[in-house]
Each structure stands twice: as structure tokens, then as C-alpha cells.
Amino acid sequence: MALQALPWNWTAILDQGGNPVPPKGMALSPADLGRLHYGLIGALYGEPDLTDPRVFFGIDAHGRLGFKASVDGRLSECISDRPLPLLNWSLVTATFDGNEGLSIFIDGQPAGSLKVRGKITPSRGTDILIGKSCRRAGAEGSERKASGDWPSDMVLDGLLDEVKIYPQALTAGQVSQMYRSDRPAVGTPLQWRYAVADITYAIFGADQGSGWGEWADEYYFVYPDGVSTRHQTLWTDRLSHEWQETIVLNQPGTRPEDNIELAAMTLARSWNNPPGLRVSGSGFVSRGYDKRQRAYVLERNGRGSAAALHCDLAASKQSPLINPAFVVRGWGSAGALLKLNGKTVEQGRSFRLGLRKNMEGDDLVIWLKMTAQGSVKLDFLPGGGKS
């Protein structure tokens, strides 16, 4: 999963149990459960009874994982010892062993455990919700009682690639091996596709006949320095939508420079006015700077050749070079060696690379941790390892 933002309160990756309890004198039939949205059930009949058997795996308002399960009728809770990172893919795992208890893993490594013996007592006849909690809740740590006491649906703000449920408890070794085998060689863009819906879950612009409405695609490109870009595509035949406008509101007694990171402004200048790039030699062509990917895009002429790539960048104060990224289409399956101004750079925290596979071949993705306001020469040579 990739967490985009911290939730207001406990929000489920997976939640099962907690039956809504209707007020005295009001019946809630199984048919009602099948027809109504859980949030609507809570609004009409009351909040779920969390003393019922349940199994919950999710995230709290601080980004920590929580595994909660009814063991022999008593709720047991295991909380991770560290939070999940934002805008980054993580493998999260929860296991239960009748003799060892509850355990949590992040990226194959232990992140929390609770010793308890017994059997899980799941709720019978209730659905498993993915990405949404059965229970509505208010905002944790709210400064105003009204918002803290006003329950809302707790829905995960992020991406879930795959949810697996096993009939047996995985060992720590199996979880670690799963992470190593599934971990991609290079980070891929995060894509989020969703229907454009309002607060009543009605899809905007739905066709009367087909029921199809409008959809949107969002792409996030996240690099090791934590800086990301967000590209949105709206599939619409109308122009009545609004786009987000971000405005800095300064508190009394403060100035804009007190609330804006000046280093971020320099980075924005590098993104808005990237240094010019010139490819020397044959074998490659520049496709320019793609703001969506925050990367220079280059392409090999003639797939399969083993030519080196030589680039010259003209950085300046007006067009600074800050932590550049490069996408080389059709590079091939080989890794790359890097020379910066004639000196070899070893792979590590300041030089990351990987291969992105697609239908037309392998693309080389490179990220460098560096800054410059003058001429820079880069040489990418076939060979070397892949990270």
C-alpha cells in the first residue's frame, strides 16, 4: 500500500465485524445490511457495537499500524512501533498465531507484537470492508469539541495494490521472503483512478442510459528526496469543474517568508525553469524536460545498441540544477555506470537507478542528489548493477 495522507482516526485496511445496533424498538434485518451503505446504516440505526467479535487491520491518526482481533471473545490490540511513510509503497502484514499472538510487519521487518493465546472469534454474517472502517469516528486531537464528536466515515486516503488473506499464520521468515520477492527494482509512479463523485456518492455527469459518468486519473512521481509531482487527467465532456487553488494564509504577526520554505522556492525554480540539456554523440535523442515526471526524458535511437549516453547541462542561478532525474527510454536490460564531470559516482544515497519494464522494452530511471549553478557533464555507460 501507499499512504497518501494521515487519517483523522483509526481507518481500516481491512475491517470485519462491529454490527450496527438499532435503537430500541427498531429492527435491522439482514436485507437492510445488504442494501444500505455502512455509513448510512450508522446514521439511521446507530454506531456498530464494537464489543462484538471483530478483526481489524488499519492505520491510526499518527500513521501507525494496528492489528485488533477478538481472541476468545476479548479484544486484543497490537500497535506498530513506527509509522508508515507517506507517498511510498510499503508491504504491511499482520499475522495471528494461537500460541504466539498478534504480530505486525512493515516491509518484511517486525514492527510490533502482542503475546496472547487462544482463537480468533470473527463476527458471523458481516462483510469484510477494504479501505473503509465499519465504525464512523471524529477527528483525533481536535481542538474543537464539535468536530471531535461529529462522526464521519473513516476511508483510507491512499492506494492498495493487493490484499491477501491466508488460512494459516505466516512465519517471520516467510514475510521477509515475500517482501524480497515482491519488491520492485525501481519505484513506479503511483496511479489513482476514481469516479468523480459528490458527498452522496453520486457520480458526476452519469449517462441516463448506461449509468457511466466521469472519471479521473492522478499520477504521482515520488523521488528519494521526498519531493513528488502530481499530474491529473479529467475525463469529461463538461467544463463545470473546479480545480484546487492553494493560498498561504499568514497568521497575525507573521510574513510569507516565515511560513514558506525558501529552499522549496529554489526547487520550484529548478522545476519551472530547468537547465537546458544537450546530448552529444550519436545513439540518443532528448525529448525535453517532462514536468509531470520531474525528469529529463531521453530515448535511444535503435534498440539493442550499447552506445553510451553523454549529456551536458547548462545550469545557472536562474535555472539551477537540483536533484535531477532522468528517464532513458529503450536503454535495455543492462545497468549503468555514471561519471559526473569525469569522475565515477558510486551507487548509493546520492545516485539511484533502476529499470522500468514496459511493452516496448526496459527504460532506465536515474536520480541524483546534487545541486549546481554551472555547467555539468554527465556520462551514462552501459554496465554496472541495478538497484
Q: Are 331 and 363 in contact (CB under 8 A)?
A: yes
With 0-12 / 13-18 / 19 or more C-beta atoms within 10 angstroms meaning exposed / middle / buried, residue 324 is buried
pLDDT higher than 80, residue 310: yes
Mark out the alpha helices in the chain (DSSP H runs).
30-35, 38-45, 145-149, 172-182, 256-259, 262-272
Q: What is the pLDDT of residues 344-380, one digit of tens each?
A: 999 988 999 888 888 888 899 999 999 999 999 999 9
Q: Which residues, listed in sequence order, are joined to residue 153 by a DSSP beta bridge?
A: none
Q: Are 194 and 215 in contact (CB under 8 A)?
A: yes
Distance of CA 156 to the CA centre of its chain: 11
Q: What is the pLDDT of residues 101-159, one digit of tens each?
A: 999 999 999 999 999 999 988 777 778 899 999 888 888 877 666 666 678 889 998 88
Q: What is the pLDDT of residues 172-219, one digit of tens each?
A: 999 999 998 876 555 556 677 888 887 777 888 888 888 788 888 888
Q: What are the chain's domains?
A: 2-155+166-174 (2.60.120), 267-382 (2.60.40)
**How many angstroms separate the CA atoms of 70 and 44, rounded?**
26
Residue 267: all three cell numbers together: 526547487
pLDDT average, residue stretch 263-279: 88
Q: Are 317 and 244 in contact (CB under 8 A)?
A: no
Indicate the residue type of 174.
Q
